[in-house]
Amino acid sequence: MSQPTLDDVAAAAGVARSTASRALSGAGPASAGAQARVRAAAAALGFTPNPAARTLATRRSYAVALVIPEPNVLVLGDPFLTGMIIGTSEAFRATDYQVLLVIVRPDDEPGKALRVMHPSHVDGAIMVSHHGSGAFERVIRQSPVPKVYVGRPWPDPTNLYVDVNNRLVGDLATRRLVERGARRIACIAGPADMAAVHDRTAGWRETLQDAGLPPGPVTHSPFTLAGGATAMTELLPYRPDAVFVQSDLMAAGAIKTLEEHGIDVGRTVRIVGVDDSDFARSASPPLTSVTNPAANLSARAARMLLRLLDDNETANDVRPEIVDPVLVIRDSG
């Protein structure tokens, strides 16, 4: 038997072909009664819409890009980024949109990624792990597709974004260390061209100032296990009694370095990380950490992008959203 066509569905539902098309695609008005009859007829006949025909009719790809300008090794190893991939995929699961993962190094030639970021390929994009420097960041603004950032864009904060209150992240972590009696509190920060790093470091510095304590040294490093280990090695001559580490993954590297030097983590040196990830729960000792909720942020970013794509809202109708972090106390700090 031949496959049923849209004409067959329209005839069975008693509507015009154009009405049947609108009812099935959502691309245009159709009454609730017509939609119900068309969908019932499509189900009875076993009709499956042709995605290519739908794309041509609506001039939409029904795909969104999740863009992460980081090396593969960091994307696959960082719990926050893997959480963003899982969370974004889940957020769009019940929609008509397919999520395309686009990974590009910040300093790579951006041509390939920009070709993907064309209206003929994707309807919108969610940008994660934004850096303020690099060729990709300089040209990504040329893409005409709607974009929502996870993390405040820097140095241009005018784009749509969702973010955790990173200044409060730094404050919560540092205040905990001060309350535990630490007086020489160093900071292991991420890359200096990221807004989250700038804000977390500012929160650390301001809280120390409020406590009447001089800021210890701050060292910038990639958000990796090796980055945390190397940064902790650089800080050892300062003899800190506490360290605010701006990701759990880096904190795990810092703990490894301290243990190799026979330093008791949680007593001689207290550590607080960021993310409240599986690394924090499985570390030895378990890591005190400030939440950076990937699932919450990805869901908010998806809803914000869908407002632009499906609800006919403009960027002027949508406002950035900020999530407050929470300190989760364990044995390390």
Q: Parallel, antiparallel, or unpaired for β 185-189 and 147-150?
A: unpaired
Residue 109 lies in a domain: yes
Residues 249 and 180 in one domain: yes
Residues 284 and 174 in one domain: yes
Q: Are 245 and 268 in contact (CB under 8 A)?
A: no
pLDDT band at 135 (very low <50, low <70, confident <90, very high): low
Residue 333 lies in a domain: no
Lowest mean pLDDT among 130-134, 258-262, 289-293: 130-134
Q: Are 147 and 172 in contact (CB under 8 A)?
A: no
SS3 250: helix
Q: Parallel, antiparallel, or unpaired for β 124-128 and 98-103?
A: unpaired
Residue 1 lies in a domain: no
- Is the predicted pLDDT of residue 53 greater than 60, yes or no? no
pLDDT band at 157 (very low <50, low <70, confident <90, very high): low
Domain residues for the domain of 268 are 166-292
Residue 76 lies in a domain: yes
Q: Quote the distance between the C-alpha of residue 187 and its chain's center.
A: 23
Residues 171 and 70 in one domain: no
Residue 329 lies in a domain: no
Residue 216 lies in a domain: yes
- Cα(270)–Cα(289) distance, rounded to whole angstroms? 12
| CATH number where 30 lies | 1.10.260
Residues 54 and 129 in one domain: no
Residues 142 and 173 in one domain: no
State what percent of residues in the chain have pLDDT above 70. Answer: 90
Residues 239 and 310 in one domain: no
Residues 86 and 100 in one domain: yes
pTM: 0.81
Q: Can you give the pLDDT at residue 239?
A: 96
SS3 106: coil
Say which residues have a Cβ less than 8 Å from residue 181's Cβ, sequence separation at least 6. none
pLDDT band at 158 (very low <50, low <70, confident <90, very high): low
- Cα(113)–Cα(132) distance, rounded to whole angstroms? 17
| CATH number where 184 lies | 3.40.50.2300
| Look-up of token digits 């691309």 | 27
Residues 10 and 72 in one domain: no
pLDDT tens-digit profile of 310-330? 777 777 788 999 999 999 999
Residue 112 lies in a domain: yes
Residues 196 and 260 in one domain: yes
Residues 154 and 199 in one domain: no
- Is the predicted pLDDT of residue 306 greater than 60, yes or no? yes
Residues 145 and 249 in one domain: no
What Cα–Cα distance (Å) separates residue 200 from each residue in 68, 144, 224, 235, 287? Answer: 21, 31, 17, 18, 18
Residues 207 and 283 in one domain: yes
Q: How many folded domains does the chain comprise?
A: 3
Residue 330 lies in a domain: no
